[in-house]
Amino acid sequence: MQQGSDSGRLKKNLGLATATSTVVGCVIGSGVFFKPQAIFTATGGAPGLGILAWLITGLISIAGALTFSEIAILIPETGGIPTYISRIYGPKLGFLAGWSQMVLFYPAMISALAVAFAQQAALFVGDAVIVPLAILVIFFIVFLNTLGSKIGGGIQILFTVCKMIPLILLTVFGFWKGTGNYPVFEPMIGEGLNPAVVMGQLIVAVLFAFEGWTSVGAIAGEMKKPARDLPIAIIGGVSIITGVYCIVNIAYLQVLPASELATLSAPASAVAIALFGDMGGRIVSVGIMISVFGACNGFIFSGSRVAYFLADKGSLPGSRRLARLNKNQVPPNSLILVGTIAAVLALTGQFNLLTDLAVFSSWTFYTLTFIGVMKYRKDRPDLQRTYRVPGYPVVPLIAIAGGIYIIINQLFLSGMRAWLMSVFSILLTLVGLPIYYAVQRGKKKKNIG
């Protein structure tokens, strides 16, 4: 392995296809296949509010994508949100954003996806291998990504195309062979449930299925034409995903009722078995594994760039090693670091716990980024903006309101488990402060010496 020079930088060799496939590839992973259970459980087995939640959450995500794109294009550098937060609010908060992503968000998403992959594989090899297989998958993808960003990006394009196959099969055959006798929009909610409270739970649940559309910002520094390609990749990708999710979930309801989907831990596989029989269900399960594998690759690909960003700025202990590039011009040590943290989290084997941890940690800094778009317009009106948020300031305010609602819901309205996960996320993020100060003191001593 060749050490990169201090002046070495990641190559600008990624185009629109890789950027869009990173958005779609990171987002469409496991949520659309596994989350219907949580959604229809929350609605009391009623379909209407669940389907509406997919659409509302998609609109919130599109508002976020429209807003996010302005700052991503203004600051098209590797690192994504930590880069934007640093520029808008200062390096301390930017470090905490990066620290949170490096130790919480990306590892939690990677480990959740690896566990989901292993749970599907358990249909073929048994439950005993779930945790070891999840860890093996993580380090295998890490290895593939050390071979170069073109390899990682190429894997992302390939698996994004492949993952559409089970979705297309479930959708086409769901509408074609499904009885169509199960209601889609009524009843809206089960008896005795509060629609406002349930909708909050649904939005948080559905958000995991939309999680990952900001990941393309982390690879902006490797894109050939970020000003042109970023908004297309982010906005187009999220719009495609919203449409796919709504249609697929309606297709599920052509095959099985919402009340039954609420009882199934793997609802997509159950729909596939109902449509194609046991063997067909297994084949579709392989397609789901491919989908989850591609999403896991996308998060490792993007998450390692956040670690690289922090190390390249000299913000972490051992920064020189973490920022080192190999002969393929990728940061192998940053890949290994993020992969190792993810492997530790995968030891829990708890898909839903890991997804809850990821959602709260991410939306805190997403919301700060949305606010930052408005703040940066006031602070730096002199900057030439090749892209401006359409519908300003209404669209950013929708994104901000959605983010604040999600944070409040997780902290105060979703029960003790969500509260504990949120507090843990806050505390682990704050652990970054003494690390930040220690590194800064080390820099000062080095300069003085």
Provide DSSP, 189-235: S-TT--HHHHHHHHHHHHHHHHTTGGGGGGGGGGBS-HHHHHHIIII
Q: How many domains does the chain have?
A: 1
What is the distance between the terminal CA atoms of the chain, rounded to a whole angstrom? 32
Mean pLDDT value of segment 394-407? 90
More confident residue, 393 or 1: 393
Q: Is residue 385 part of a domain?
A: no
Which among 59, 53, 60, 43 has a CA at the least distance from the CA of 198?
43
**For position 2, what pLDDT does the model report?**
38
**For position 375, what pLDDT does the model report?**
94
Mean pLDDT value of segment 264-290? 83
For residue 9, pLDDT beyond 70: no
C-alpha 258/C-alpha 182 separation (Å) is: 8
More confident residue, 277 or 351: 277
Q: 164-190 pLDDT, tens per residue?
A: 788 888 899 999 888 777 888 888 898
C-alpha 346/C-alpha 14 separation (Å) is: 30
Residue 85: pLDDT band (50, 70, 90) is very high
% of the chain with per-residue pLDDT over 90: 23
**For position 216, what pLDDT does the model report?**
58
**For position 324, what pLDDT does the model report?**
87
**For position 377, what pLDDT does the model report?**
93
Q: Is residue 5 part of a domain?
A: no
Question: Which amino acid makes up residue 194?
Answer: N
**For position 100, what pLDDT does the model report?**
93
For residue 419, pLDDT beyond 60: yes
For residue 292, pLDDT beyond 50: yes
Mean pLDDT value of segment 423-447? 87
Q: Is residue 265 part of a domain?
A: yes
Which residues are 14's β-sheet partners? 223
For residue 7, pLDDT beyond 50: no
Q: Is residue 6 part of a domain?
A: no
Q: Is 17 exposed, middle or buried (0-12, 13-18, 19+ CB in 10 A)?
A: middle
> b or e along 317-343 (b: 16 or more beta carbons within 10 Å of the residue's beta carbon)?
eebeebbbbbebbbbbbbbbbbbebbb
For residue 215, pLDDT beyond 70: no
Give me the residue label for tokens 């001593």: 445
Residue 69: pLDDT band (50, 70, 90) is confident
**For position 93, what pLDDT does the model report?**
93
Of these ranges, 97-101, 121-125, 146-150, the one predicted with the greatest mean pLDDT is 97-101
CATH number where 247 lies: 1.20.1740.10
Which among 349, 352, 296, 247 has a CA at the least distance from the CA of 22?
296
Q: 223-243 pLDDT, tens per residue?
A: 777 767 777 777 777 788 888
C-alpha 401/C-alpha 59 separation (Å) is: 12
Q: 298-330 pLDDT, tens per residue?
A: 788 888 888 888 888 888 888 888 888 888 888
**For position 156, what pLDDT does the model report?**
62
For residue 266, pLDDT beyond 50: yes
**For position 3, what pLDDT does the model report?**
39
Contact 208, 35 (CB under 8 A): yes
Q: Is residue 294 part of a domain?
A: yes
Which of 73-87, 146-160, 241-255 is least confident? 146-160
**For position 185, what pLDDT does the model report?**
83
**For position 218, what pLDDT does the model report?**
57
**For position 152, what pLDDT does the model report?**
63
Q: Is residue 267 part of a domain?
A: yes
Q: Is residue 89 part of a domain?
A: yes
**For position 36, what pLDDT does the model report?**
87
Residue 22: pLDDT band (50, 70, 90) is low
**For position 143, what pLDDT does the model report?**
92
Mean pLDDT value of segment 274-278? 88
Residue 4: pLDDT band (50, 70, 90) is very low
For residue 396, pLDDT beyond 80: yes
Q: Is residue 110 part of a domain?
A: yes
More confident residue, 150 or 425: 425
Query: What is the chain's alpha carbon radius of gyration, rounded to the nearest angstrom?
Result: 21
Residue 159 belongs to domain spanning: 16-376+399-448
Tell me what the pLDDT averaged over the chain comes to.
Answer: 83
Mean pLDDT value of segment 54-77? 84
Which of 16-30, 187-201, 409-423, 427-441 is least confident? 16-30
